[in-house]
Structure formats: C-alpha cells, structure tokens
Amino acid sequence: MLEVLGKENNYIKVRDSESGNICKIEDTFAEMFSMWVGRVLITADNEKWALTAARVATGFASSIIMSPAEAGIEGAVSAEKTPDKRVGVLVQFFHRTRPDLKAQMILRIGQCIMTCPTTAAFDALPDAKRRLKVGRSIRLFGDGFQRRDTVADRKVWRIPVMEGEFVIEDLFGAAKAIAGGNFLILAENRNAGLKAAENAVDAIYGKVEGVVMPFPGGVCRAGSKAGSQKYKLTASTNHPYCPRLRKLVPDTKVPEGVHSVYEIVINGLNIESVKKAMEEGIKAAVKVPGVIMISAGNYGGKLGPYQANLREVLKI
C-alpha cells in the first residue's frame, strides 16, 4: 500500500508501507494508442508444450516499430476451461490493420503452433464482431486431406500431420484494443531497477486478465522516442531517460542519483485492464529499496488518444 507523504513541484512523494521505501511518482501520463488484436488459446497435452508453442509464436514481436507484429503471453488456462479439456495458454497478437493481423496470425499459428507437438489452437475472442479466416486458410496445409469437425460446439479443422492431427478453429475474432501502456522505473543502480522490474512483471503476469507485456521477459531496457535527432529513423534511443547522457544533453529527465531505467510496456484488450496492470506493476516496483522515481512515457498527446495518468491509476 502506498502512503502519500506530500507533493513537490510535479511529483508526489510516497512510501511503501511494507518495505518502507520512499520514492517519487511523477505527475504525468502514459500515452496509448489503438491496434487490432487477435487472441488465441493454445492447448496441448501438458503445460510444457503449450508454453513452448506460446513462446515461439510470440517471438520477434516486442514493438511494431521494427518487429512484424506485437505479441505476448497472457497466462495459463486450466483444462476445465478449455474446449478440448487440456491445459492451455492464452496469447495475444497485435497489428495496425486487420489484414496485417490476419497475415501474422496465419504465419505464427502455422509455423509456430501447428509445428509444435500435441498443440491445438482455438479463438479466444468469441464475442468479437470481426472474424478472420485464419483456420480456414491454414487448413490448406492439409493438402485436401483436412476435414471439418466440431469441438465443444466450435467449428474446427482437423489437419493431418506426422504426429497425428492439428486441430484449429475455423474463424478467429479481431477487435480494437489498447497498446503502449507503460511506466518507467528509475533506480539508483541496475540491480535495484531490474529487481523492481521483475517484481512488476510478476505482479501482472497471469494475475491481470486481458493484458500482455511484449518485451523480453516483460522488461524493456532500450525505450525509444519518436524520430531521431541525427539520423532519418522512425525511432531512436530515448536519450532524456538514458542515465549516462544525463550530463551531456540539455533535456535530460534523469534525476541525480539515478543510474538505471527500465520500462514496462503493456498491451491489453481494453483500457481498464491496462490501467489495472499499471497499478499492480507500479505498486510492486515501489517496494524495492533503491527505486527513486516512477514515471511514464508519452509524446505530449501526439501519439495516441488514450492516456493513463499515474496519479489516477494509483489513486493518490
């Protein structure tokens, strides 16, 4: 629980009641934007192979800036709640447009899930109005030997593979979702910063429904800013938050004593889920001694129409 100690300039001073750590919360906001999302439930004979498929299918998908998509693992699903009564893992795929999302889902399911031992793939956005012909496209891999069937009243394709068969739902939902939720952890050293980031990820993963953290292990050490000062790039290093540049750039935002900054980026099915994840993650990070400040990345309202003010998220 956070205890407010006071306010100074653009910061709110708080203390974690459990650890006693005191840090500042910058009175700023995370700026978010809309993307299309597909949500897939991967099932398998055991958790090992469900997670293996999920990890491979969500690879090279940390940021749409340079990756072909954004993607992440949402969490595990018990066998009692899956269509084929096997253990499952939820993953989310994000893209700017529906056609690009469909293409990425076909590639990632076809190459990374269908090829993984014992897996099946089901739609996890059954209420979405937009439907993508993902399974219907992948069925062609069966070379005419595929067949229609139903699993728990879902229309599926059974595609013959060398192990046996791959079951995939015919249509997958696509919906508008939220991308770019984030907060920054500013710490006195790397050990404290990384521990706080790991705590934040642990507080979010599998506990806040409907969100994913697309960066490696949920943590980003190389946050970016829009554009570049020197080169013709769409994005470049977020120099105001690079501690080693604190004395070299006039627009630094790194306070004295901070030597490490980590960013937690969160995408989700809706803004409420993203804000909840931010709240839980920040509260977990603040517990770590050595965390000096929590901030958030934004572009002055120019990137996207959605905002999550840290003060409101934390209810302080």
**Which DSSP string do the residues of 72-91 spell out, in sequence order?**
EEEEEE-GGGSTTSS-EEEE
Helix (H) or strand (E) holding 237: strand 235-237
pLDDT on residue 299 = 79
List, in order of start, the domains of the chain with CATH numbers: 2-32+177-314 (3.30.70.520), 36-175 (3.30.70.520)
pLDDT on residue 66 = 94
Please state the pTM of the whole predicted model. Answer: 0.96
Q: How far apart are CA 112 and CA 252, in angstroms?
A: 42
Cross-strand bridge partners of residue 309:
29
Angle 197-277-90 (CA atoms, 0-180°, nearest 5)?
Answer: 95
User: What is the pLDDT tens value at each position of the chain, 316 positions in all?
Assistant: 999 999 988 999 999 999 999 999 999 999 999 999 999 999 999 999 999 999 999 999 999 999 999 999 999 999 999 999 999 999 999 999 999 999 999 999 999 999 999 999 999 999 999 999 999 999 999 999 999 999 999 999 999 999 999 999 999 999 999 999 999 999 999 999 999 999 999 999 999 999 999 999 999 999 999 899 999 998 999 999 999 999 999 999 999 999 999 999 999 999 999 999 999 999 999 999 999 999 999 877 777 899 999 999 999 9
* Per-residue burial over 265-290, b = 16 or more CB atoms within 10 Å of its CB, e = otherwise: bbbbbebebbbbbbbbbbbbbbbbeb
Q: How far apart are CA 256 and CA 270, in angstroms?
A: 36
Cα end-to-end span (Å), the chain? 11
Is residue 214 a contact partner of residue 71, using CB atoms and an 8 Å limit?
yes
Q: How far apart are CA 67 and CA 211, in angstroms?
A: 19
pLDDT on residue 20 = 97
pLDDT on residue 303 = 75
Q: How far apart are CA 262 and CA 274, in angstroms?
A: 18
List, in order, residues 6 or more apart from 254 with CB less than 8 Å away: 186, 240, 241, 242, 243, 245, 246, 261
pLDDT on residue 304 = 81
pLDDT on residue 127 = 97
Angle 41-43-47 (CA atoms, 0-180°, nearest 5)?
Answer: 115
Strand pairing report for 224-226 and 147-151: unpaired
Is residue 268 a contact partner of residue 176, using CB atoms and an 8 Å limit?
no
